[in-house]
Amino acid sequence: MKQIPCAHCGRLFNPNPRVKNQHYCSEKECQRARKRLWQKRKLADDPDYKANQKDAQKTWREKNPHYWKEYRKRSPQYVENNRNRQRERRRGGSVAKMDASGMDLTLESGTYFIIPASAGVAKMDASARKVLLIPVA
């Protein structure tokens, strides 16, 4: 059988004839990469799968409420790296909590133009927007 390159590591391997369209070798890291890609696609394409994952994560968090506190105690390097990244976000003008800056964010009533902005916020589902005031003549 003809050898093919692994889609993850690039090494040549003999595909299993029983596995149609095999693209990954049997190395542990390559199989992890294959599964990560599968899960990423599944989360994007299957709303039921995404909801089930969210429910499972919520259940796990409820059963392990002190996990992150304990993890930070065990992992001082993680804490230090996180502190450094937060300092960088503050220097760059993008912080994890946009309302924590102490600025007065009240706006006058009027017409606004909302523009998507690329900002390095900590929350994956956060949506940064730039608001420009359009003066009414």
Residue 19 lies in a domain: yes
Both tokens of 2, joined, read 């003809």
Residue 28 lies in a domain: yes
Query: What pLDDT score was predicted for residue 91?
Result: 84
Both tokens of 39, joined, read 């899960």
Q: How many CB atoms lie within 10 A of CB 92?
A: 10
| Predicted confidence (pLDDT) at residue 44 exceeds the cutoff of 70 | yes
Per-residue pLDDT of 93-117, as tens digits, reads: 666 555 555 555 666 766 666 666 6
Residue 65 identity: P
Q: How confident is the model at residue 36 (pLDDT cuts 50, 70, 90)?
A: very high
Domain count, the chain: 1
Residue 133 lies in a domain: no
Beta bridge partners of residue 133, listed in sequence order: 112
Q: Where are the beta strands (DSSP E) in the chain?
A: 4-5, 12-13, 112-116, 129-133
* Residues 44, 46, 47, 48, CA torsion sign: negative
Query: What pLDDT score was predicted for residue 58?
Result: 97
| Structural domain that includes position 17 | 4-97
Q: Are 98 and 80 in contact (CB under 8 A)?
A: no
Q: Please tell me the pTM assigned to this model.
A: 0.53
Mean of all residue pLDDT scores within the chain: 84
